[in-house]
Structure 1
Amino acid sequence: MKLAVIGFGNAGGKITDKLVWYQQAADRDLIRSAISVNSARVDLARLEHLPRENQILIGQTDDRVKGHGAGADPDLGAEITERDRHEIDRALDMVPMYEIDAFLVVAGLGGGTGSGGAPRIAEQINDRYDEPVYGLGVLPSKDEGGRTVLNAARSFQSFADATTNLILFDNDVWRGSGDSVEAGYERTNEEIARRIITLLGAGEIDSSNISEHAMDSSDIRRTLSGGGVSTIAYAESKEVIDSGGLLSSLRSNGTKPLDDPDWATKVNGLVRQAVQSRMTCPAEIDSAERSLIVLSGPPEALSRKGLESGRRWLEQQTDSVEVLSGDDPRPGAGSLAAVVLLANVTDVPPIDALQELGVKAKENIEAQRERREEQFEELVTDDDDALDPV
């Protein structure tokens, strides 16, 4: 699937930067255009793989912003996005529309520019172009504070409505206990890039072999159609690169048939492992409307029987016949990966918790505002109200 990627805000820009890096490192070719939009000049300066001409600074003429960010205010982020829409439109005019299959708008939902601006730009792209607009939204950690949680709860509703489908990533699930803040974000951004590139890179036409059962971008589009939110499961086995490992033993007398029972079992187990391990955002499997399995790795390791067995198992788990599967041959790949897209999930515990915490945060903020107004009034007024202000 060929993409035009728009990263909004600090987190969105960093993830877009990482997507570009990972695509190059994995020898993929699916991102046809990538831009980063931010209201903070310093955040744009930290990007390493997006060229300067693909970085858009908005809000420069607003006295509240002036290149220093939206101050975790999503309403301000939405406002400056609307005001500087012409700047973004100029960048979108450079997207080679005849080469792309979809847009991907990426944002962290807890800040100001991304949480407010990403839903607006997704809505504008939807109105202007025929291609689907997918979102990638990062939920903040609950430890980041009530204001951040409230921003995310509000932004989630707008972002989900504005996109063809919203893929979620929950920071709380992926943050390592021993990570520094910077190292934690770096690691999670790489995990996001690995899953997105492996999933959406399936079926791309490049130097790879095209197998009889190759995944196609139309399969991905079908799975992500119909609105809603989605999560991605992933598992990887590096056993194939061991000199004495399983794949080398299969090749002892030339390449052994792909439907060898041992290898089929390995592939089926990898699909199950993916779904039963960490998803990008925890969700109940049986609440998925549609699912898609992509098996990516050395052509010799892509067992058709193993993939079909994994697909039947997923149909049973989701109680749905809307399960597509295919492979993504990567000659020379050092590992075998199974990525499972669970689309249009409706039972997502982190979203339920986010909305509950968001309501509480809103109530607390309003109560604090009222209390401070009363305290300020007491501060500036004498006890007997005997003084007349100048």
Structure 2
Amino acid sequence: MKFALVGVGGAGGRIVDRLHEEEAATGRSFSNGSLLAFDTDRSAFEGMDHIPLDRHILVGDTHPDIRGEGVDGDIELAVSVAREDRNELHREFDKLKLHELDAVVLVGGLAGGTGGGLGAVILESLQTLTDIPVYAIGVLPDGGEPDQHIVNAAESLQSFVRLADSVILFDNDAWHDSADTLETAYDSLNDGLAQRVSAMLGLNELADADIAENTLDSSDLIKTLDSGGISVIGQATVELEDSGFFDRIVSLFRNGDETEDDGTTTTLAMRTQDLVQEATTRNLTTPCEMSSTDRGLLLVSGPAEEISRKGFESGRYWLEQESDAAEVFAGDEPRPNGSTVTASVLLSNVTEIPRVDRLKERAVEAKQTSTSKHQPQD
């Protein structure tokens, strides 16, 4: 499956840069260099090491209110500038060769003016230019960020969900360790997101993978995301020599009960099933209520002899029951020389997401506070 990756704003550009790096590191080739990075601030391109210079697109560089220095969090300004430059944007899309792709993935930080405002206009434009799916990856701000970022994120999320065929959501607040500043945590946050997204976009793209017993293909991914709305991705990995990690997982899901081990077969089955549960209950890009899922997709990757067929089927059955999804696609990805076993899970059209509810509530409160401050006093 071949995707174009379009980064918008500082966060979106950094994540696309990291995704392209992940392609090379893992051998999952899913973009074939179909990359673009848009920004209103020329300095944002300085940190991009893997996106070619001719794919760096500065928007609004001649606009009197921007001149290449960004929109300072102003979504309305970003939208206005993007619409003025819409013809120029369309010419840049020619570099993507949309007719050769299966889908486009736009990535943007929802708290920023450029990511949210310019990102929405680009989504709108892409939907008019191509019949292939146009997905979005939206990054929610940390809870400690200013009110304006929260308001931007709430408005941008609404626009992204309306314009994209599906929005994969990543919540910085859920993943940010408060011991680190958000700025120092960006690399690790982007790493976690890139690993999860590349596993899904790179289905069956591993150069050294063997033939799977249960193969997933691009149509399965598209069918999963076809239900629209908000999607989340979970992932859990065990190092094959790290028995301590496996023991911790078992203790989490067996409630301290002793499990009779009748040999390697039972051990592998437990590990495979518990990795699926770990990925879905503790490691989602945005925590959500599983039972509000419309469709799901499960991929288990690792050496064939380390993936239990019984554990795989048990994990799939558990996912079907807990998510109450109408359909769950599942497959394996044998890697003969792999040193890990990884379970990756995609939940689509999830409707119960506490973080989104809190974001909307805080955005309303922030707007009310701002309005009261600007009202004339008697």
With the length of structure 2 as denominator, give the TM-score of the two structures: 0.90
- Structure 1 residue 19 and structure 2 residue 19: aligned? yes
Taking structure 1 as reference, are residues 304 and 100 closer, same or farther at Cα in structure 2, changes over 3 Å only?
farther
TM-superposed deviation, 1:323: 1.1
In structure 1, give the amino acid aligned to 2:148. Answer: R
Partners of 1:176 and 1:205 in 2: CA distance: 32
Partners of 1:86 and 1:205 in 2: CA distance: 37
Long gaps (5+) in structure 2: 248-263
Partners of 1:68 and 1:329 in 2: CA distance: 48
TM-superposed deviation, 1:354: 0.6
Partners of 1:240 and 1:86 in 2: CA distance: 55
TM-superposed deviation, 1:297: 2.0
Q: Which residue is 1:158 aligned to?
A: 159
Does structure 1 retain, via aligned residues, the 8 Å contact 2:268–2:306? Answer: yes
The runs of at least 4 aligned residues of structure 1 exceeding 4 Å deviation read none
Q: Which residue is 2:180 aligned to?
A: 179
- 1:72-123 Cα offsets, whole Å, 9 max, x none, are 0011111122222233222211223344211101000001011111122112
Does structure 2 retain, via aligned residues, the 8 Å contact 1:204–1:216? Answer: no
- Structure 1 residue 315 and structure 2 residue 316: aligned? no
2:96 partner SS: coil
Partners of 1:369 and 1:298 in 2: CA distance: 62
Percent identity for Structure 1 against Structure 2: 38
Does structure 2 retain, via aligned residues, the 8 Å contact 1:241–1:335? Answer: no
Does structure 2 retain, via aligned residues, the 8 Å contact 1:240–1:336? Answer: no
Q: Which residue is 1:68 aligned to?
A: 69
Does structure 2 retain, via aligned residues, the 8 Å contact 1:2–1:204? Answer: no
Taking structure 1 as reference, are residues 81 and 302 closer, same or farther at Cα in structure 2, changes over 3 Å only?
farther
- Structure 1 residue 361 and structure 2 residue 359: aligned? no
2:179 partner SS: coil
Partners of 2:220 and 2:236 in 1: CA distance: 21
Partners of 2:306 and 2:349 in 1: CA distance: 30
What are the within-5 Å matches in structure 2 for residues 172-251 of structure 1?
A: 172-204=173-205, 206-239=207-240
Equivalent in 291, 294, 297 of residue 292 of structure 1: 297
Q: Which residue is 2:251 aligned to?
A: none
Equivalent in 286, 292, 300 of residue 281 of structure 1: 286
TM-superposed deviation, 1:232: 1.0
Partners of 2:231 and 2:212 in 1: CA distance: 27
Q: Which residue is 2:253 aligned to?
A: none
Q: Which residue is 2:250 aligned to?
A: none
TM-superposed deviation, 1:240: 5.1
1:142 partner SS: coil
Taking structure 1 as reference, are residues 319 and 181 closer, same or farther at Cα in structure 2, changes over 3 Å only?
closer
- Out of 121-130 and 132-141, give the one that drifted further: 121-130
1:345 partner SS: coil
2:95 partner SS: coil
- Structure 1 residue 262 and structure 2 residue 267: aligned? yes
- 1:330-378 Cα offsets, whole Å, 9 max, x none, are 342221110111110110101111111111111122222335xx69xxx
Q: Which residue is 1:382 aligned to?
A: none
In structure 2, give the amino acid aligned to 1:340. Answer: V
- Structure 1 residue 139 and structure 2 residue 144: aligned? no
TM-superposed deviation, 1:272: 1.0
- 1:151-209 Cα offsets, whole Å, 9 max, x none, are 11111111000000001011100111222333211110110000000122112374432
TM-superposed deviation, 1:16: 0.6
Partners of 2:241 and 2:297 in 1: CA distance: 23
Q: Which residue is 1:386 aligned to?
A: none
Q: Which residue is 2:10 aligned to?
A: 10
Equivalent in 304, 307, 311 of residue 306 of structure 1: 311
TM-superposed deviation, 1:215: 1.3
- Structure 1 residue 94 and structure 2 residue 99: aligned? no
In structure 1, give the amino acid aligned to 2:198. Answer: I
Q: Which residue is 1:343 aligned to?
A: 348
Partners of 2:91 and 2:99 in 1: CA distance: 17
Does structure 2 retain, via aligned residues, the 8 Å contact 1:140–1:152? Answer: yes
Partners of 1:10 and 1:154 in 2: CA distance: 18
- Out of 298-307 and 109-118, give the one that drifted further: 298-307
In structure 1, give the amino acid aligned to 2:270. Answer: T
Taking structure 1 as reference, are residues 205 and 89 closer, same or farther at Cα in structure 2, changes over 3 Å only?
farther
2:226 partner SS: coil
In structure 1, give the amino acid aligned to 2:27. Answer: D
TM-superposed deviation, 1:137: 0.3
- Out of 261-270 and 69-78, give the one that drifted further: 261-270
Does structure 2 retain, via aligned residues, the 8 Å contact 1:297–1:331? Answer: yes
Does structure 1 retain, via aligned residues, the 8 Å contact 2:28–2:206? Answer: no
With the length of structure 1 as denominator, give the TM-score of the two structures: 0.88
Q: Which residue is 1:381 aligned to?
A: none
1:144 partner SS: coil
Partners of 2:2 and 2:335 in 1: CA distance: 17
Does structure 2 retain, via aligned residues, the 8 Å contact 1:110–1:152? Answer: yes
Does structure 2 retain, via aligned residues, the 8 Å contact 1:241–1:334? Answer: no
Bigger radius of gyration among the two: 1
In structure 2, give the amino acid aligned to 1:174. Answer: W
Partners of 1:86 and 1:240 in 2: CA distance: 55
Partners of 1:87 and 1:5 in 2: CA distance: 18
Partners of 1:283 and 1:153 in 2: CA distance: 17
What are the within-5 Å matches in structure 2 for residues 327-342 of structure 1?
A: 327-342=332-347
Long gaps (5+) in structure 1: 247-258, 376-390
Taking only aligned residues, the RMSD between alpha carbons, in angstroms, comes to: 2.0
